[in-house]
Amino acid sequence: MDREELLRREDEAWLQLVDTFSAVPPDKRDVEGVVPGWSAHDLVWHCAYWAGYASEVLDRLQRGEPEPEEREDDDVWEAEILTTGRGMDWGEVILNLEQNRERARAALSALGDLPEVAVDWFTDDTFDHYDEHAAQIRAFST
């Protein structure tokens, strides 16, 4: 996929994600069960966090640095991410999601050549992620 296709695909998935989380009634946003132990609020924050993380990885690649090494404590890390998101209100989570989305798009756009690793990070942590969690949120809130 070239840069334009990646950005187009991200934009389509973004619009679906926004439609999905916007349709969640305020009284259901913090109700766990979208996936076991997670609410719509949690999943939207999760998408926000990982879009931001992808932007950081793409920035590293732009500077000629290697991608980060895989972490051995993924469960601990994911629990920390979840706790951080639960300390934010809905508006803060949405603002972070919007900002991190823009950062990821800008980081992808700033890359000269698109190495496969950059395509993978962008794909996995933006539109594939949005699609996966939008479907889960939609199924829960209907």
Q: State percent of the chain over pLDDT 90.
A: 87
> Of 2-16, 70-84, 102-116, where does mean pLDDT reach its minimum?
70-84
3-state class of 91 per DSSP? helix
DSSP string, 36-64: TTB-HHHHHHHHHHHHHHHHHHHHHHHTT
| Residue 80 main-chain phi, psi, to 5 deg | -65, -40
* CA gap 130, 51 in Å, rounded: 10
Mean pLDDT of the residues in the chain: 94
- 28 pLDDT exceeds 90? yes
Compute the average pLDDT of residues 7-28: 97
- 68 pLDDT exceeds 90? no
- 8 pLDDT exceeds 80? yes
- What is the domain class of 3-141 according to CATH? mainly alpha
Compute the average pLDDT of residues 57-72: 89
- 74 pLDDT exceeds 90? no
Compute the average pLDDT of residues 58-65: 95
- 6 pLDDT exceeds 80? yes
Q: What is the pLDDT of residue 10?
A: 98
- So where are the chain's domains? 3-141
Q: What is the pLDDT of residue 78?
A: 87
> What is the pTM for the complete model shown?
0.94
- 70 pLDDT exceeds 80? no
| Short-list 9, 2, 34, 3, CA closest to 134 | 34
